[in-house]
Amino acid sequence: RKEVEQDPGPFNVPEGATVAFNCTYSNSASQSFFWYRQDCRKEPKLLMSVYSSGNEDGRFTAQLNRASQYISLLIRDSKLSDSATYLCVVNLRSGAGSYQLTFGKGTKLSVIP
C-alpha cells in the first residue's frame, strides 16, 4: 500500500463547479497534513495546512479524519486559475527536529470555461 494515495484524476470541471479531492495515508503516526498545488513545471506551493477540526480558506475547505486516515479538499466556485495539480502531503517526524514530507502523486485539475 502506498503511503499517500490520491484520486488518480484528471478532473475536468466547468467554471463555477465544486470539486472534491480525496486522499488516504497509511502511517498512523503522521503528525501534520497539507495540500499543495503545483502548476506545470513549477515548484509545489503550500495551499493550506489541514487542522484536526477542519479549516476553510475562502473557497477552499480541508477536512481530516485521523481515525480513517483520510484527508479531503473541497474547492467551491472553481476558477480557471485553479487549474493545477493538487498534492496531498503528510508530515512524519523522522528525527530530532526532522519532519519528512510524503507526497501523493497528485491529482490534475483542469477548469474549463
Residues within the interface to another protein (CB under 8 A): 4, 32, 34, 41-46, 49, 87, 91, 94-106
> Residue 45: which of 72, 9, 5, 85 has the closest Cα?
85
Q: How far is the CB of 91 from another protein (least distance, A)?
A: 6
d(Cα 74, Cα 20) in Å, to the nearest integer? 4
The least CB distance from residue 34 to another protein, in Å, is 7
Task: Give 44 or 111: the residue with its C-beta nearer to another protein.
Answer: 44
Measured from the CB of residue 80, what is the shortest distance to another protein in angstroms? Answer: 23
